[in-house]
Structure formats: C-alpha cells, structure tokens
Amino acid sequence: MMMNMMLIFLIMFFMGNMIFVSNYKHLLITLLSLEFIVLSIFFFMMIVFLNQLFNMYMLMLFLTFSVCEGALGLSILVSMIRTHGNDYFLSFNIL
C-alpha cells in the first residue's frame, strides 16, 4: 500500500516536471504545472506524516504558502495580459 502511494507521488511529480519543461510558450500552462508539482509534494508530505504519526500543522503551513504562491502567479499573469495582451513568453522582452 505504501509503495503504491509512493509510486503515485513519483508519477505525479515527474509528469508535472515534464509538463513544466516542455511547455514554455504560455504562462498559464507553466503555472498550472507548478501547482501540480506543489500538489504532488503535498501528497508526499501527507503520506510521510501519516506514516510517521506527526501532527498535520506543517501541512497547513505548506498549503498556506502554496496558496500565496498561486495568488502571486495569477497576479503576474493578469498584469502580463494587461500590459502585453496575451500570456505568450515570446511576445515580450524580459530585459
């Protein structure tokens, strides 16, 4: 049972990383893949904490920071769409 959950975590984590690496055109897909990676890390932490019988306060702290990270990413996406008209990485110069 534990090995199945670890295998699910590894598959989720590597799928999120592959999506993050392969799609570099749109900011929204990049942000969604980062949120998927955060979700897989949360799943892993939940498995470890339930197995070790730790308190779940660290999971609440992790969820708080991941929500803040998601809100920051969405605000960057909105400001980029307002200034450039789309969310393509190739349409603006970072420098």
CATH number, domain with residue 7? 1.10.287.3510
* pLDDT at 90 > cutoff 70: no
Output the six-digit token pair for 82: 């307002």
Q: Do residues 12 and 36 touch, judged by C-beta distance below 8 A?
A: yes
Domain count, the chain: 1
Question: In terms of residue numbers, what domain contains 14?
Answer: 2-91
10-69 residue pLDDT tens: 888 898 888 888 867 778 888 888 899 999 999 888 888 888 887 888 889 999 999 999
CA distance 88 to 24: 9
Q: Do residues 48 and 62 touch, judged by C-beta distance below 8 A?
A: no
- What is the phi-psi region of residue 39: left when phi exceeds 0, alpha when psi lies from -120 to 50, beta otherwise? alpha
CA 93, 79, 42, 61 torsion-angle sign:
positive
